[in-house]
Amino acid sequence: MTDPASAGAARARRQDDLLIVVVDHPPVNALSADVRRGLAEAIAQAGVDPQVRAVVLAGAGANFIAGADIREFGKPPRPPALPDVCNAIENCPKPVVAALHGAALGGGLEVAMAAHYRVALPDARLGLPEVNLGLLPGAGGTQRAPRLMGAAAALDLMLSGAPITAAGALASGLVDRVAEGGDALAAGLAYARELLDQGAGPRRSRDAQGLADKTAARAALAESGERAARARGLYSPLRIVEAVRAAVELPFDEGLATERSLFLQCLDSPQRAALVHAFFAERGTTRVPELKQARPRPLGRVGVVGGGTMGAGITVALLDAGLSAVMIEQDEAALARGLARVRDVYDQAVRKGRLSAAQREERMARHAGALDYAALADADLIIEAVFEDMEVKRAVFAELDRVARPGAVLATNTSYLDVDCIAQATSRPADVLGLHFFSPAHIMKLLEIVVGRATAADTVATGFELARRLRKIPVRAGVCDGFIGNRILAVHRQAADMMMQDGASPYEIDAAVRAFGYPMGPYQMTDMAGGDIGWATRKRRAATRDPAIRYVEIADRICERGWFGQKTGRGFYRYEAGSRQGRPDPEVLEIVDAERRRAGVTPRAFSEGEIQRRYLAAMINEAANVLEEGIADKPADVDAVFLHGYGFPRYRGGPLFYADTVGPARILEDIRAWRNEDPAFWKPSALLVRLAESGRDFASLNTAQP
Ligand code: 3HC
Ligand code: NAI
């Protein structure tokens, strides 16, 4: 009955007159060299074995095939190449059926498109996410997808990078049928048997007619060309459009050659390297010692103390993840406001059609409010999000210590304050940690897990488990003023303020930061968040500020006028009623000028490049300090923080990946030059000096495993 042909990552066995090829390469069946070889051998065998009348391709485990093996990018290529494997599948003289379940992504979907027939289980997710990695589908996907589903749908799949469901794939012609459920292989076998019974032969996607209507295809290209041009700073979208243009205008084989050449350009681009780094950086943040030492404590009922901006956002995140949450506020009015904030988020989601009314009610039913801390007695985890004031927070924690059950995890969402000092307000500092969410907390992906001196390993593990449940990216941080993100932010904001005082306008600085790839500059960001927040922090810290560091007062002068940004219609920019689009304000420039005069500064010009260099160098130098002090475990964690909490352009990989592309030595050279003008601010980090002087880079510190 069976006839083992190839062992290992892609196994072939014959069952009657069908050759079954199963890709079995955990964790996600990525197309490593072994898998490619196994597939090529199996197809070759099918071609010559007279007993084989059809082939069924399937994946073992949870997925069909998740794509090319991302770890192989940038390394010397190992044969057989994936496009050749796909062409061999398409040219197989016997019908090939791909049976899809779970992820059929990138090269995995290209393998499926090279097959002659496709059946998907309802759970299948089909996509061409290469754009997220700075690439384009490079194994025939740009040529076969438009022929199967038409140019418009194929371009959307490739430019969005978002997967579609089995039902969507059926509707667009990407798959031939959706099986009822059950086992993908069984569905593939049944389909192959039916095809043989009907006398069906190979049916090549290269011959499919999705591009027959050239007018429609060209219209889709024109529309997508505009969309790709709008994809800020990204390299691969325009090339995706070019590859599909070749599919529309050229014969199939010439189109494949065009795709190959565009793919190789993308593969060699710095953006590809940065985006692949980002992919692994965000998955590597869970490599922390505590997760090896301990298991998480239970997480079911969560308490949230404080129903302001953050408390409400955190509550929504908890409810969205299926947890139940009780909110504690200080008085009836504040509680009513807190509950209303949560309801508002859901009402808006229902209005926008993102949630059904029934889903809203189901989520709200898991939410309760209380004034009495006794309501927290059975909570597994309590997250404090009250005012940023040490005495208020310590009083809350003393109360939590009194009411919480033994073993409950007590977390603070403080932005800057000393988590150890907060923990000491309790009799159980081992149960205390920081869970630093970012605003809006139900949307932003980053969660800093702040580990105090006494925090127990299973408390930390519970923080990571919460992040997993909330689908957030957890980054382990040590205790210091501002942890990883806000501490580094404060320093490069200071660099920006100093440039503003020395001659760059806030608008030039914002423009330079945007030109680097951020969605907005630091002063636009201030206006969006509300200038009053930073002003309050500055006032609170006035007494403890390092007198050696230049203090730029421009933002204070703006706040003193009540100009807090978008919400007051004025800040660094002026806003028309209801608009978030600010325009430069000559009165702000007058304030800036006056402050320069008061500080005795003769303004000078700053080029866009210099603004970027100083802004980034300040960020990188402080990031090096954060690593040196063990506040962050590894450079990739700092990158994950800035990518997911601060809008750092993903195609630049994060500040420390970017630092390596510039070179630590060059950054150090700049900082040493600027030290002459301001020795208190431009102090080279000891780590940066060590890396520069030993010719190493930040990436060399990523490989050290805990
Ligand atoms: N290559 C190598 N490793 C991969 C991989 C890939 N394509 N996809 C995932 N992995 C690894 C992850 O790094 C992770 O490793 P770790 O356990 O050591 O951290 C492990 O597989 C599990 O991944 P996730 O944690 O992401 O698991 P999930 O179950 O949450 O998600 C997934 C699974 C949806 C498949 C998700 O991993 C994913 O989206 N992967 C990337 C898919 C992709 O981008 N494919 C296109 C690749 S480019 C291409 O195909 C080019 C071609 O056109 C020539
Ligand atoms: P907020 O002022 O909007 O809300 C604070 C809430 O706490 C108020 O509703 C207040 O009534 C309540 N409160 C005060 N004392 C209380 C007590 N003893 N018991 C119960 N409730 C009490 O403040 P916001 O912005 O939500 O910040 C909360 C915390 O989150 C602060 O520590 C802040 O630093 C931190 N944070 C804020 C971020 C932001 O962007 N706003 C981002 C990340 C962290």
pLDDT one-digit tens code per residue, 546-600: 888 899 999 999 999 999 999 999 999 999 988 889 999 999 999 999 999 999 9
Classify residue 46 by burial, with Cβ atoms within 10 Å: 0-12, 13-18, 19+: buried
Query: By percentage, how much of the chain surpasses pLDDT 70?
Result: 99
Same domain, 579 and 606: yes
- pLDDT band at 352, cuts 50/70/90? very high
Whether the predicted pLDDT of 356 surpasses 50? yes
Q: Is the pTM of this model over 0.85?
A: yes
- pLDDT band at 403, cuts 50/70/90? very high
436 strand-pairing partners: 448
The DSSP string of 308-354 is: SHHHHHHHHHHHHTT-EEEEE-SSHHHHHHHHHHHHHHHHHHHHTTS
Read off the pLDDT of each residue in 646-673 and give the average, rounded to a whole number: 98
Whether the predicted pLDDT of 429 surpasses 70? yes
Strands (E), 167-283: 177-178
**Last residue of a domain, which of 477, 507, 530?**
477
User: What backbone phi and psi angles, to 5 degrees, belong to 682?
Assistant: -90, 75
Contact between residue 658 and residue 652 where contact means Cβ atoms under 8 Å apart: yes
Taking only the tens place, the pLDDT of each residue in 618-642 is: 999 999 999 999 999 999 999 999 9
User: Would 519 be classed as within a structural domain?
Assistant: yes
User: Would 22 be classed as within a structural domain?
Assistant: yes
Which tokens go with 615? 């802004």
Same domain, 84 and 8: yes
Please give the distance, rounded to the nearest whole angstrom, from the Cα atom of residue 31 to the centre of ligand 1.
10
User: Would 279 be classed as within a structural domain?
Assistant: no
Please give the distance, rounded to the nearest whole angstrom, from the Cα atom of residue 243 to the centre of ligand 1.
24
Residues 6+ apart with CB under 8 A from 504: 512, 606, 611
Contact between residue 686 and residue 619 where contact means Cβ atoms under 8 Å apart: no
Same domain, 125 and 183: yes
Using CA atoms, how far apart are residues 205 and 247, in angstroms rounded to an integer?
A: 12
Residues within a 6 A CB radius of ligand 1: 27-28, 30, 63, 66-71, 82, 103, 105-107, 110, 129-130, 133, 135, 137-139, 141, 283
Read off the pLDDT of each residue in 371-386 and give the average, rounded to a whole number: 97
Kindly state if the Cβ of 387 falls inside 6 Å of ligand 2: yes
**Last residue of a domain, which of 456, 477, 498?**
477
Same domain, 543 and 613: yes
pLDDT at residue 6, as a whole number: 43
Ligand nearest to the CA of 144: 1
Q: Is the peptide bond before 27 cis (omega within 30 degrees of 0)?
A: yes
Same domain, 684 and 660: yes
Taking only the tens place, the pLDDT of each residue in 196-247 is: 999 999 999 999 999 999 999 999 999 999 988 888 789 999 999 999 999 9
Same domain, 459 and 582: no
Q: Is the dihedral of CA 539, 541, 544, 549 positive or negative?
A: negative
User: Would 281 be classed as within a structural domain?
Assistant: no
Same domain, 436 and 538: no
User: Would 273 be classed as within a structural domain?
Assistant: no
Helix (H) or strand (E) holding 230: helix 214-230
Residue nearest to atom 8 of ligand 2 (CA): 308
Active site residue 130: yes
Taking only the tens place, the pLDDT of each residue in 430-443 is: 999 999 999 999 99
Instruction: Give the lowest-confidence range in 177-186, 228-237, 310-319, 490-499.
Output: 228-237
Supply the mean pLDDT for the chain: 96
Ligand 2 pocket check: which of 329, 330, 386, 439 to mutate, most ligand atoms within 8 Å of Cβ? 386
User: Would 459 be classed as within a structural domain?
Assistant: yes
Please give the distance, rounded to the nearest whole angstrom, from the Cα atom of residue 530 to the centre of ligand 2.
15
Residues 6+ apart with CB under 8 A from 283: none
Ligand 1 atom with the smallest distance to the CA of 83 is 54
Whether the predicted pLDDT of 5 surpasses 80? no
Same domain, 51 and 113: yes
Please give the distance, rounded to the nearest whole angstrom, from the Cα atom of residue 306 to the centre of ligand 2.
6
Kindly state if the Cβ of 6 falls inside 6 Å of ligand 2: no
Same domain, 528 and 551: yes
User: Would 540 be classed as within a structural domain?
Assistant: yes
Domain hosting residue 546, numbered range: 485-701
Q: Is the peptide bond before 80 cis (omega within 30 degrees of 0)?
A: yes
Same domain, 34 and 139: yes
Taking only the tens place, the pLDDT of each residue in 47-96 is: 999 999 999 999 999 999 999 999 999 899 999 999 999 999 999 999 99
Which among 262, 219, 197, 180 is positioned nearest to 17, based on CA atoms?
197
Catalytic one among 41, 72, 90, 110?
110
Same domain, 525 and 625: yes
pLDDT at residue 704, as a whole number: 58
pLDDT at residue 4, as a whole number: 41
- pLDDT band at 483, cuts 50/70/90? very high
Taking only the tens place, the pLDDT of each residue in 323-342 is: 999 999 999 999 999 999 99
Using CA atoms, how far apart are residues 581 and 87, in angstroms rounded to an integer?
A: 50
Ligand nearest to the CA of 646: 2
Whether the predicted pLDDT of 545 surpasses 50? yes
Which among 706, 671, 678 is positioned nearest to 692, based on CA atoms?
671
Residues 6+ apart with CB under 8 A from 28: 61, 62, 63, 65, 66, 103
- What's the domain count of the chain? 3
Ligand 1 atom with the smallest distance to the CA of 136 is 53
**Last residue of a domain, which of 419, 449, 477?**
477
Same domain, 326 and 229: no
User: Would 621 be classed as within a structural domain?
Assistant: yes
